[in-house]
Structure formats: C-alpha cells, structure tokens
Structure 1
Amino acid sequence: MNSPFDKALIFTDLHITPPGETIIGLDPLARFTQGLTHALARHPDAQHIILLGDLTNTGDPAEYARLAPALADCPIPVTVTMGNHDLRQHLTAAFPDGLNADGFAQHALDLGPLRLLILDTHDYENRAPLEQDGWLCPVRLAWLDTELARAAADGKDVVVFTHHPPCPVGFWAMDAIGLANSDALLSRLHSAPHVRHLICGHIHRTIHASASNPAGGGLPLTILKSPCHQIPMILGQGTFADSVDEPGAYGILLALKDTVVVHTEDFALSDGTVLSY
C-alpha cells in the first residue's frame, strides 16, 4: 500500500502475564492483541512496530512464550527493547534478534528522513539486579555516540526511544525510578542538533514534556501509555503500585517534511465507525 507518510507504530508496557494471571482483572495479552489488531487494521502501511520495553510483567519465560506467538504472523517488522520488568536472557530466548552484538536491545532503524535510535535502559544485571530505575552503561552510551555521528553524516534527523524517561513528570514514585543517569543521555542529545524528539514509556500515561537544556531550550518528549493498565492521575503520588482500568493506547510516529509528529490512539472506545453530522 502506498502511503503519504513514513510511519511507525509504538507499543510500550505490555506487561504480559503467565496464562490465567491478570493485572487488576485485565489480561494483558488480550489487551495487547486487541490493540495490535486495531493498529494493523488502521495502519497497514506502517514500516515498523516498536515494543518499548516491559514486554512482560516479571520476565518469566512463560510470559515471553505467550507474547512471541502473538507477533509471529505480524506483517510489519517488530523491534523490541527492554524495560525494568524484563529479563535479558529470557527476552533473548523469545526474540533471538532482540539484542545487538554488544548484548543490548539497542537498534537503529530508518523511517524516511528519520533515524530511529532505540536505547536499552534496563538496569544491567551486573550492576544492580532487578532494579526498577533505568541505567545506560558506557557501552550503551558509546553506541549512542556512534549512531548519532552516523546519522549526522547520513543527513538524518533523529528520534530517540527509551523505556525510562530522563526527566521528572510529577508522579513522585515514578520519578524516583526514572533514568538514573539521565544527565549522561540528555547532555548528548542536547549537543546533537539533529535530535528532534524523544519517546518513552514506563509511566503508563500519555504525557508531553520538554527535557530542559541548561544552555537554553529543550527537547520535546512524548511518553506513551500502556495497552493494558494505567497509573491513576494523582499527581505527587508516592506509590507506583496503584493502577486503573482506563482505555489502552499505542503511539503513531509520522515522519513528515521537516516535522516529527507523534499521535496517541486509544482503542476499544468504539467500533471505529465514522459518522458525519
């Protein structure tokens, strides 16, 4: 199908559980499958699907074993990265192409005029096993440096993806488990004028922000919510254990002429019938 857009679809925080287990009464796999079906029906022209971490709820092999078949017949290439609820060895077993040569779920993809740089912010097991906050080690940061330079040489604007946001968003408990070394990331992105946007997950809400630059200005940032459960809108909240059954969503990234556009689409609100008035 020819499309006027270069387009990518983004899902984050799937939290797939083992068979028979739910989260606040919701089956995360059923919700993700519903969202994926919705997205594929409306956006069959997308060039990429990006799963932005927390693919599973605990990193159990049984959880990845439920997810992988749901993607087996997907007609659009799927790229995965890690969140704090994932485990590296089990993700690798389910998605053999999920890690790069350095052993991290970091990927560079082209989307029309854009280069998409997907970072792995999972707190490396040798540093602090199963920590909830994010971390970018020197190897991952060196990969980013190389890819930013390559994108500049190729004349590509850049959109960066991370599971953990590198700035506070007003939910205190979630801010406490953001990207622990955010300065290391933001200093690089602010120094690269061809970086146009940053897309994150982790918070389970749709949020738009500007990651401030001490030299002036800021980097536009979009946080996408989960296809399953969301965090309640209680700003200043001191716990991340509370969840609410609100509509799930996915993101749609468009690469337009000189413009980066990020839409968020709630699904299952209606049957999608378009009416005129």
Structure 2
Amino acid sequence: MKLIQLTDIHLTTPGETIAGRDPNANFEKALQDVMNFHSDAEAMIITGDLSDWGDEDDYRRLKTRIEALPFPVHLCIGNHDSRDHFLSVFPDRANDDGFVQSVFPLGGHIGLCLDTKVPDTHAGELCDARLAWLSAQLELADRPVFLFMHHNPVATGQAPIDSIMLRNPDLFGKMVGRYREKIRHIFFGHCHLPLSGSLEGVPFSAPRGTNHAGAFNFAEPDLLSGSDLPAAYAVVFVRPESVMVDMIEYGYDGPLHIENSPEYSAWDRKTMIR
C-alpha cells in the first residue's frame, strides 16, 4: 500500500506569498508531482495548516481541488487553521464532539486524524474529549492503526519549535504506550522539518512541507528559523513487515545525476564517476 502525506500547505489568498514562495502554486506542483509518480496511492493525508490565515475561501479552493483527485484525501487542521471556517466548508469532517477528528480505512489498516488545534496559541493540545475519542477508537481497532496529527508530540531539542509543540505530550505518550501494539506509525507536520524517531516504542515521522522550509538551528533560543531548502512531501510504502517513509523534495529544480550502476561488479576505480 502506498500513502501520500502533505503537510503545512498554508494556502493563501491568490497572489500572496510566504517567505517569497507562492503556497498555492507550490501546493499545485506537489499535486502534479504526486499525479505524475504516485497516482496509484491508496489515500492522501494533509496534516494541518491547510490555510495560512484560516480564510473560508482557502478551504473552498482546497475542497474543489482535492475532489478532482483519484483517491480519498483526509484532512487534519493545525494552528493556522480556523476550525469554524474549515467546518463551514467540510461539515462532514467533524466528529460528534465538533472536533476535526475522523476514522477511515486504509487498506488493511485504520487511519485516525486528530485535531490538535487550540485557539489563541500556536501550541497544540488534545483535551479530555479528544483523548477520550482517541482511546475509544484505539480500543475498537481490529487492525493496525496509523495516527495523523499536526503538532509534534515529541520535543525536537530546538527551543522555539518546542515552545509550540503539543502541550500535553505526557498524556498522549501514555496513551500511545498503552496501545503501542495497535499503533504502527505516527505522522505529523508543524515543524517544517524532516523528523523521525519513536514515542513509547512507536515510530513517528514528519516531512518538510509544501511551501516554506524550516531549519535546524539549535543556537537560536527564541525565534523560528527558516531556510531556502526545497519544498517536500512524503510517500509512505506500507508492507506487512515494514513502513518506509520517503521525503520527496519536489521543490528541488537542480540536475539529477543518473550515473554508476548499483552492481558491485561495475565498481571500477578507473572508470567510476566520483
């Protein structure tokens, strides 16, 4: 099974840019790259910051665009999103508590989208109601589960990013630990950085994002750091024995060097390109 994860698409009013990049154009480029190489995907999941300012028109344009794709698209909201404006366009994406949380089939797996949005802060949280919903879904799950969320549930070691991560990571971590035999992988965004690791024994990953890129800057104590690294999304190859997450830097426009055979017998010190 193949899955696509896009994150932090930050759609804006057409013509507006972020960090000198056009997020609407970059979202479209990402979709075109997916269609060129991965149109056989089981599903696409976009893990939040769908809109940069939470404008209702951004969600209308998003809905029109994803309805044209040949596979289902599942959506999380992030700190830049407006839950009210999102649900005015996507009313069917709310659970009974009014949060943007959903459960859906993914081949022989179950996908869960979590709502980590908190008003008036860029940090995230899973309140008692959202945690209770998650616990109930995990209890019911009879197949391996993939979790999708916006905010990072684990500290990155960079103070500015970690000041706006999930605010109750201990509670989330305990739940992940309780159901670690059911949860196969956790996918998130928010950091605009390629990240991987594990939480309570469960692997996690995050790609860079489809517009502006972050930077690893452990010396900066207060401000978020950006870079000119290429925009990216993730392709996830799910096999019975493994989960491989490839970060696709579709925003790179430099040359590709198609050279050198992977065959060991072709490795020749005199003729190989180095």
Q: What does 1:13-24 correspond to in 2, within 5 Å?
A: 13-24=8-19
Shift of 1:89: 0.9
Q: State how far apart, in whole Å, the 1-side matches of 2:253 and 2:84 are.
A: 39
Normalised by the length of structure 1, the TM-score is 0.87
- The alignment-based identity, stated in percent, is 34
Aligned to 2:103: 108
Separation (CA, whole Å) in 2 of partners of 1:272 and 1:88: 41
Cα RMSD of the aligned pairs, angstroms, is 2.0
Name 1:198's counterpart in structure 2.
186
- Residue 2 of structure 2 corresponds to 7
What amino acid is aligned across from residue 169 of structure 2 in structure 1?
S
- Counterpart in 2 of 1:3? none
Determine the structure 1 residue equivalent to 2:202.
219
Letter in 1 for 2:123: D
- Corresponding position: 1:139 with 2:134: no
Which sections of structure 2, spanning at least 5 residues, go unmatched?
261-274
Picking from 78, 86, 89, the partner of 1:83 is 78
Aligned partners of 1:222, 1:237: CA distance in 2, in Å?
A: 23
Task: Report the Cα offset of residue 276 of structure 1.
Answer: 5.6
- The correspondence for 1:31, drawn from 21, 26, 40, is 26
1:117 aligns with 2:112: yes
2: CA distance between counterparts of 1:207 and 1:241?
A: 16
8 Å CA contact 1:172, 1:236 repeated in 2: no
Mapped contact 1:232–1:242 kept (Cα < 8 A): yes
Residue of structure 1 equivalent to 2:163: 176
Partner of residue 126, structure 1: none
**Is the contact between residue 161 and residue 224 of structure 2 (CA under 8 Å) also seen in structure 1?**
no
Residue 240 of structure 1 deviates from its aligned partner by 4.5
Where does residue 265 of structure 2 map in the other structure?
none
* Count, aligned residues: 259
Whether 1:73 aligns to 2:73 is no
Structure 1 letter corresponding to 2:109? L
Query: Tell me, which stretches of 5 or more residues in structure 1 are unaligned?
Result: 1-5, 124-128
Q: After TM superposition, where is structure 1 displaced by more than 4 Å over at least 4 residues in a row?
A: 270-277
For residues 187 and 65 of structure 1, the distance between their equivalents in structure 2, rounded to whole angstroms, comes to 37
Question: Which of the pair has more CA radius of gyration?
Answer: 2
Work out the CA distance in 2 between the residues paired with 1:194 and 1:258: 14
Cα displacement (A) at 1:274: 9.0
